[in-house]
Amino acid sequence: MGTHKTGSATIKVDESLDMMVEKAIRNTLPTFRAEIEKEMKALEAEAKNQWLVREKNSRGSKNKFKVEIVSSQGKIIGRVINTAEYAWAIKVGKKSNSRLSAGVRLADSVLWKPMKKTSDKLTKALIDDLMKLQD
């Protein structure tokens, strides 16, 4: 059991909370991590499919995607990155063969917006898994 104090707030943590956290990590997070990886790979595939390539002078940004799953300070973070330094600045051109409107930043439309939707989906999956632990 431990006591943690911040400002005027004090929290007492007993052994049952420690055991619950350990059980959550042991039973839920490995499954959740696999779910994150599956979703990130799907996002990567869809982003590559929608990524625009110049007809001339392409520098190959379509082939510079990377999926990362990192654990840090009790958090598991999944992300899809395009490692081309200029990827964030690519805009859809007027003559581009794309469903996206001219002038839209490509990374915003095919990486960031889908990532936000996936984040909501993964959060719900984690909550569902944690609720199962109460049984």
Specify the length of the chain in residues: 135
d(CA 5, CA 86): 46
In sign, the C-alpha dihedral spanning 74, 121, 126, 36 is negative
Which residue's structure tokens are 């898994």?
129
Global pTM? 0.72
Q: Residue 36 burial (CB < 10 Å; 0-12/13-18/19+)? A: buried
Token pair listed for 88: 């964030």
71-127 pLDDT, tens digit each: 665 667 889 999 999 999 999 999 888 888 999 999 999 999 999 999 888 888 888
Angle between helices 113-132 and 29-50 (to 10 degrees): 160
Closest CA to 79 of 87, 67, 71, 88: 67
* pLDDT tens digits, one per residue of 99-108: 889 999 999 9
The whole-number average pLDDT for the span 27-39 is 80
Give just the sign of the alpha carbon dihedral 10, 15, 17, 23. Answer: positive
